[in-house]
């Protein structure tokens, strides 16, 4: 059984998650701000997708994760471990690569 702290079922919530997915294409260099203020910089390992999970109370719903791989720019021999981030925790997405547009704030 796959578990998540929060799951979503409303059309509005699912659209918010889809907007975040659209802003996180495979290979994009991004800076993410999470709901707790933490900021992460890295490369999107693979475009996220929505999946079915169960929350802590056993309710079924949707959420997703994005795998962020940290580039080892200052320590090229280091291989930092990738980190999976829940989509619903992301409050800001800024593209840092040349094909980026202005920062994206998910609804």
- Structural domain range at position 43: 11-95
**pTM value?**
0.82
**Could you tell me if residue 37 is inside a domain?**
yes
| Distance (Å, whole) CA 82 – CA 87 | 15
Percent of the chain with pLDDT over 70: 82
Inside any domain, residue 18: yes
Residue 6 lies in a domain: no
Report yes or no on 24 lying in a domain. Answer: yes
Say which CATH number the domain at 30 has. 2.30.30.720
pLDDT of residue 81: 80
Dump pLDDT digits (tens) for 53-80.
999 999 999 999 999 998 755 555 666 7
pLDDT of residue 4: 95
Residue 102 confidence (pLDDT):
46
Question: What pLDDT does residue 92 have?
Answer: 98
Give the pLDDT confidence score for residue 21 in this predicted structure. Answer: 98
User: What's the rounded Cα separation, in Å, for the pair 53 and 3?
Assistant: 5
Tokens 């290979």 correspond to 27
How many whole angstroms separate alpha carbon 27 and alpha carbon 14? 23
5 is a domain residue: no
Structural domains of the chain, count: 1
Going by C-alpha positions, the residue among 18, 38, 33 that lies closest to residue 96 is 33
């Amino acid at each position: 059984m796959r578990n998540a702290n929060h799951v979503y079922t409303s059309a509005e919530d699912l659209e918010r998650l889809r907007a975040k997915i659209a802003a996180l294409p495979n290979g994009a260099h991004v800076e993410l701000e999470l709901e707790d203020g933490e900021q992460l910089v890295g490369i999107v390992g693979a475009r996220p997708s929505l999946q079915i999970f169960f929350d802590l109370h056993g309710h079924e719903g949707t959420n997703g994760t994005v795998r962020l791989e940290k580039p080892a720019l200052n320590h090229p021999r280091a291989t930092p471990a990738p980190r999976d981030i829940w989509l619903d925790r992301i409050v800001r997405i800024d593209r840092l690569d040349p094909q980026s547009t202005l920062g994206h704030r998910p609804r």
